[in-house]
């Protein structure tokens, strides 16, 4: 496949293609209330941090890697925001409003078209994001990594799962493995990286599950059970991620 990987700053005409990734995420993931703060204005505020890969022939969208800069005073090799993904978005937005100079860049979303997965495109996009971040003058890329095969192993503690390795000592989880091979080091667990609250009707619509009993509800592709409270008519998903640090 002959690919063009570019930023939206360089090719603003490709911006509409960022929305052409149907089925990239499980439905409930589109309902993190904090995400809207990024997606509603990233193309205006952060176009040089947003990458898209298109097939040169048809200019079809193949993959995307969206990121955001934020200010962080501590050493990113050992200390990163405990609130993970949501905290990056809140900080990046607040920094922009307050005029603070960012010091780190974090991916917000790296996604590959579902029919083009397992071809090495995720590694290619991560590499492009690393190079773009360095080109913008940063020395670190940090990522609240979503170890997506965790949903198949909810019976083991999260920290144990992310420490699993396979031959060669690389992580068992495929997405953590891509980051490790690119040179990232694990900094720690972001226990509350993304919080998605909803009424039971909303969770039923997002998952096609009954949500009719209080307690933990396993949801396909969720990295932790969703906490359901029938009497209160609410359910909440708190996703753990793993902070990694790429020294550029």
Ligand X SMILES: CC(C)(COP(=O)(O)OP(=O)(O)OC[C@H]1O[C@@H](n2cnc3c(N)ncnc32)[C@H](O)[C@@H]1OP(=O)(O)O)[C@@H](O)C(=O)NCCC(=O)NCCS
Which residues in this chain contact ligand X in the complex, by CB under 6 A?
A: 24-25, 109-112, 117-123, 146, 148-149, 174-175, 177-178
Residues 6+ apart with CB under 8 A from 193: 83, 84, 85, 86, 144, 146, 239, 240, 241
Q: How many CB atoms lie within 10 A of CB 214?
A: 13
If the CB atoms of residues 177 and 245 are measured against ligand X, the closer one turns out to be 177
Q: How many CB atoms lie within 10 A of CB 164?
A: 14
Residues 6+ apart with CB under 8 A from 143: 106, 107, 179, 184, 243, 244, 246
Closest contact distance (angstroms) between CB of 201 and ligand X is 26
If the CB atoms of residues 176 and 226 are measured against ligand X, the closer one turns out to be 176
If the CB atoms of residues 234 and 238 are measured against ligand X, the closer one turns out to be 238
Closest chain position to ligand X (CB)? 174
Closest contact distance (angstroms) between CB of 99 and ligand X is 28
CB burial of residue 4 (10 Å; 0-12, 13-18, 19+) = middle
If the CB atoms of residues 37 and 119 are measured against ligand X, the closer one turns out to be 119
Closest contact distance (angstroms) between CB of 107 and ligand X is 6
Q: Answer for the pair 5, 53: CB distance below 8 angstroms, yes or no.
A: yes
Place of tokens 């609240």: 144
Report residue 157: phi and psi, to 5°. -60, 145
Q: Any idea of the CA torsion for 8, 11, 14, 19, to the nearest 10 degrees?
A: 0
If the CB atoms of residues 181 and 227 are measured against ligand X, the closer one turns out to be 181
Closest contact distance (angstroms) between CB of 159 and ligand X is 19
Closest contact distance (angstroms) between CB of 51 and ligand X is 13
Closest contact distance (angstroms) between CB of 114 and ligand X is 7
If the CB atoms of residues 158 and 211 are measured against ligand X, the closer one turns out to be 158
Q: How many CB atoms lie within 10 A of CB 153?
A: 16
């Amino acid at each position: 496949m002959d690919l063009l990987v570019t930023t939206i700053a360089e090719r603003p005409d490709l911006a509409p293609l960022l929305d052409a990734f149907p089925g990239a995420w499980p439905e409930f993931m589109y309902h993190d209330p904090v995400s809207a703060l990024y997606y509603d204005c990233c193309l205006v505020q952060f176009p040089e941090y947003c990458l898209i890969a298109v097939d040169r022939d048809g200019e079809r969208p193949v993959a995307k890697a969206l990121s955001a800069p934020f200010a962080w005073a501590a050493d990113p090799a050992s200390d990163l925001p405990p609130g993970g993904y949501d905290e990056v978005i809140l900080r990046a937005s607040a920094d922009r409003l307050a005029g603070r100079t960012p010091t780190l860049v974090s991916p917000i979303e790296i996604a590959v078209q579902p029919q083009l997965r397992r071809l090495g495109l995720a590694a290619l996009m991560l590499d492009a994001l690393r190079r773009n971040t360095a080109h913008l003058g940063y020395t670190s890329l940090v990522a609240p990594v979503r170890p997506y095969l965790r949903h198949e192993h909810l019976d083991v503690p999260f920290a144990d799962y992310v420490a699993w390795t396979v031959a060669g000592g690389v992580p068992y989880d495929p997405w953590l493995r891509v980051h490790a091979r690119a040179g990232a080091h694990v900094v720690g667990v972001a226990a509350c990286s993304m919080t998605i609250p909803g009424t039971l009707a909303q969770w039923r619509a997002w998952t096609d599950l009954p949500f009719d009993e209080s307690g933990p509800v396993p949801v396909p592709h969720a990295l932790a059970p969703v906490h359901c409270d029938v009497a209160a008519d609410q359910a909440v998903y708190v996703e753990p991620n793993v902070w990694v640090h790429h020294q550029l």
